[in-house]
Chain A
Amino acid sequence: NAGVTQTPKFQVLKTGQSMTLQCAQDMNHNSMYWYRQDPGMGLRLIYYSASEGTTDKGEVPNGYNVSRLNKREFSLRLESAAPSQTSVYFCASSAGQGMSQPQHFGDGTRLSIL
């Protein structure tokens, strides 16, 4: 019953460091997503992958890159971390590309950039 697993759960970085956030799902879902959550702003989409081999920008993609490694895994990379990227990051997946498909979320990665 793992669902969506994110690693690490917590991380502190210094400005300019790089880091990759990992996400894996075991539900055989086609679509995967990365969001960031900031106080009072809800969740904002960073990147998504509608299916294996494809990725697309969301609302706030600047400063991030993603890789859909295979159907299970979707990673988010910060090449040069900035304090503005301090946030809680959530990975999600959904069964298909249809608009009615609910998304299943991981427990988040809490990232602080000093």
Chain B
Amino acid sequence: AQSVTQLGSHVSVSEGALVLLRCNYSSSVPPYLFWYVQYPNQGLQLLLKYTSAATLVKGINGFEAEFKKSETSFHLTKPSAHMSDAAEYFCAVSASDTGRRALTFGSGTRLQVQP
């Protein structure tokens, strides 16, 4: 069965600093991987997705993520943090081994951006 581990429930960076949010997955078959962002009192919005076309995936708002099969990782990065990036970020995996066409989410990482 598939699973997702997000390392660090809270990450704090200064405005302008590099953002790195970590995600490791477990799947017995090639996965599809997603990053979502959740702003307060809102639903989840898709940031980017990996579907095997390219290992480096660019998303909205300047975020990108790199799929590394050897490390089973899909870390999210942004070169320079903005105050508006403060939110909760969820990594999710979708794989066919369960036969269930739905996402398995990590527990989330709350990003705080300090002025």
- B26-51 at interface with A (beta carbon < 8 Å): 32, 34, 36, 41-46, 49, 51
CB distance from B23 to the nearest CB of A (A): 11
Contacts of A106 in B (CB 8 A): 43
A56 interfacial contact with B, CB 8 Å: yes
Number of interface residues of A (CB under 8 A): 27
B77 interfacial contact with A, CB 8 Å: no
Convert A14-41 into 0s and 1s, putting 1 for each residue whose CB lies closer than 8 angstroms to a CB of B.
Answer: 0000000000000000010101000011
CB distance from A20 to the nearest CB of B (A): 19
A80 interfacial contact with B, CB 8 Å: no
| Interface-side segment among B11-19, B66-74, B88-96 | B88-96
CB distance from A4 to the nearest CB of B (A): 7
Pair A40/B9 contact, Cβ less than 8 Å: yes
* Nearest neighbor of B43 in chain A, beta-carbon distance: A105
* Nearest neighbor of A105 in chain B, beta-carbon distance: B43
Contacts of B46 in A (CB 8 A): 102-104
CB distance from A1 to the nearest CB of B (A): 13
> How many angstroms from the CA of A33 to the CA of B100 in the assembled complex?
12
A107 interfacial contact with B, CB 8 Å: yes
Pair A43/B32 contact, Cβ less than 8 Å: no
A2 interfacial contact with B, CB 8 Å: no
* Nearest neighbor of A102 in chain B, beta-carbon distance: B46
Pair B43/A56 contact, Cβ less than 8 Å: no
Using A97-B101, A100-B49, A100-B51 as known contacts, say yes or no to A42 and B43 having CB atoms under 8 A apart.
no
Residues of B near any A CB (own CB < 8 A): 4, 9, 32, 34, 36, 41-46, 49, 51, 90, 94-96, 100-108
**Would you list 18 pairs from A and B whose C-beta atoms are within 8 A, ordered by A residue?**
A31-B101, A35-B105, A40-B108, A43-B103, A90-B43, A92-B44, A99-B94, A99-B96, A99-B101, A100-B32, A100-B49, A100-B94, A105-B36, A105-B45, A106-B43, A107-B43, A108-B41, A108-B42
